[in-house]
Amino acid sequence: MKFPSLTTAAGYLGAPVPALVTQCRRLERDIGETLFTRSAFGSAQQPTARGQALLDDLALDRVQQLMRAALRDELGPPMPADSVLASANLRCSSRRAPGPLTPFDDIPVERIRIHAATLTFLRDLLDQQAEEIYGAQIRFRTGLDAGTLYPGLRRLEQAGWLTSRPEDDQSWRGRATVGRGPGRRRIYYAFTAEGRRAATREVERRSGPSPEKATPR
């Protein structure tokens, strides 16, 4: 959290960025709360109140001793020097906002930026045989938090990749239990034909050739 972004932290730790992102999300899922606000253009990542409480606990001597014992003193790189952090902040603040994406030549939907989380739920949507899926199903399978998933689904819908519909009354009321209402009405998502093509193409671009299609050396 001394670094302005997960990308700059991963560089110092010598860790792949996707691995660090996955570990942070897993930690948040296990604790049940968001631990830090993600970095954006012009703003560094910051711990939430729960995240700061965790950092304070990790700094306690008894917790440090437990960590050293569990990890056999292999705690990784030391805390970064001020000059390292200053360089990381400079890189983070001086980067330019990305330019517009090149549209698809043959798919009439808006092209969007594919981040690690986007790729995760696109793969999940493509893997499912069901025509429609609601958000809680995707969250259960992928571990993505609601604050990441639902804005992503809305973005795909705005771009023409997905359609959505609210749960019908019969299904919604049928989920009620004795003494309790049915809860929040589900929103079901489905690919458009063009959206499925776009998702398949973007996933394949990032997956590389399959073993049977790879060119022999």
- Cβ of 68: how many Cβ atoms within 10 Å? 12
Q: Which of 174, 191, 190, 192 is nearest to 182 (CA)?
A: 174
Averaged pLDDT for residues 98-125: 88
- How far apart (Å, rounded) are the C-alpha atoms in residues 51 and 36? 6
- Cβ of 1: how many Cβ atoms within 10 Å? 15
pLDDT digits (tens, 9 = 90+) for 116-162: 889 899 999 999 878 899 999 999 998 888 888 899 999 999 999 99
DSSP helix/strand/coil, 40: strand
Tokens read off for 60: 């306690």
pLDDT exceeds 90 at position 56: yes
Domains and CATH numbers, the chain: 6-94 (1.10.10), 116-207 (1.10.10.10)
pLDDT exceeds 60 at position 171: yes
Are 31 and 25 a contacting pair, CB within 8 Å? no
With bands split at pLDDT 50, 70 and 90, how would you rate the model's confidence at 77?
confident
- Cβ of 50: how many Cβ atoms within 10 Å? 15
- List Cα–Cα distances, 84 to 2, 16, 34, 183, in angstroms: 10, 19, 27, 49
* pTM of the full structure: 0.55
pLDDT digits (tens, 9 = 90+) for 16-47: 888 888 888 889 889 988 898 888 766 888 99
Q: To which residue do tokens 């990749």 refer?
A: 161
Among 13-17, 119-123, 188-192, name the most confident range: 188-192
